[in-house]
Amino acid sequence: MAVQKKFALGRGLDALISTEEVKTSGSSSINEIELSKISVNPNQPRREFDPVALQELADSIAEIGIIQPITLRQLSEDSYQIIAGERRYRASVQAGLKTIPAYIRTADDENVMEMALIENIQREDLNSLEIALAYQHLLEQYELTQERLSERVGKKRTTIANYLRLLKLPAQIQVALKNREIDMGHARALLALDDPKTQIRIFNEIQTQGYSVRKVEEIVKALTSGETIDSGGKKIKPKGSKLSEEYVILQNHLCGFFGSKVQLSCTTKGKGKISIPFNNEEDLERIMEIFDLLKKKE
């Protein structure tokens, strides 16, 4: 008897591991299954397992056994595939167990991927890039729209879209996100920059300067406004920040007027900023006197 997709997925984690559901649905049963008969799911969204944490779980299993059964689907009379619980399976193998308690479900390939994804997201076992890749797999493999996918996995469409946007970042930023060297907040802030080279430069500054998400958001906001920012002694200019001949003439005029190296930035949309640097308090007072004179002439 096939599991109805909407029912199985709509209840999220409860539909996967609830003992009550297992007893009443008629599509699942609980048994002790030989580990040698179990294979991992090749489409499992989780790709990496912390060896230290895995050994700790194996030690716990060796001492007190499996607390929560894993979830399997039956492939043949003596063959099963993991839907959810690969980490518990791997730890059980390390602990030297011969069998493991498992819920046996009937599920097609599409359900297997969705169940594994939901189970891991609910447990927060996946990093943000793994979630993005899993969403992309579901969209491409089963030709789903983002709206339909949001219904299937119980997430808002905007949430799914935000994860998928991470896959547009340069590869080295994606790798850092996967390795948790930066947070998703850092990555989302970088997405506001259109130029991959600028994204990488800011990413490098995040790593060397240890910038918080808020700091990166401030930097990105400044760059998108046409400002040149100073980070760790480096000048980073926004893409397309080269001034036209008319603006260069205007900038030179302002430099001469204020007796200072005035900085002028302008985006392609005509939005920009004028910055007047000063060397010390006396220099600042001199510039303020110029403004006072201009005000008196009004």
Tell me the average pLDDT of the chain. Answer: 78
Do 76 and 142 lie in one domain? The reply is no
**Cross-strand pairs, 230:** 235
pLDDT digits 0-9 by tens, 196-233:
888 888 999 999 999 999 999 999 888 877 777 777 66
Helix, coil or strand: residue 75: strand
- Residues 42 and 100 reside in one and the same domain: yes
Q: Based on the domain organization, do 42 and 95 belong to the same domain?
A: yes
Whole-Å CA distances, 184 to 7, 95, 119: 31, 35, 20
Domain membership flag for residue 8: no
Q: Is residue 22 part of a domain?
A: no
Residues 40 and 102 in one domain: yes
pLDDT at 132 over 90: no
Is the model's pLDDT at 245 over the cut of 80?
Answer: no
- Residue 123: its pLDDT value, please? 60
Q: Which residues contact 141 (CB under 8 A, 6 or more apart)?
A: 110, 113
The whole-number pLDDT of residue 206 equals 93
The residues that are catalytic are 86
Q: What pLDDT does residue 121 have?
A: 65
Assign residue 61 the CATH number of its domain. Answer: 3.90.1530.30
Report phi then psi at 280, rounded to 5: -160, -175
Range of the domain at 132: 108-167
- Each residue's pLDDT tens digit, 86-129: 889 999 999 999 989 888 876 666 566 666 766 666 665 678 88
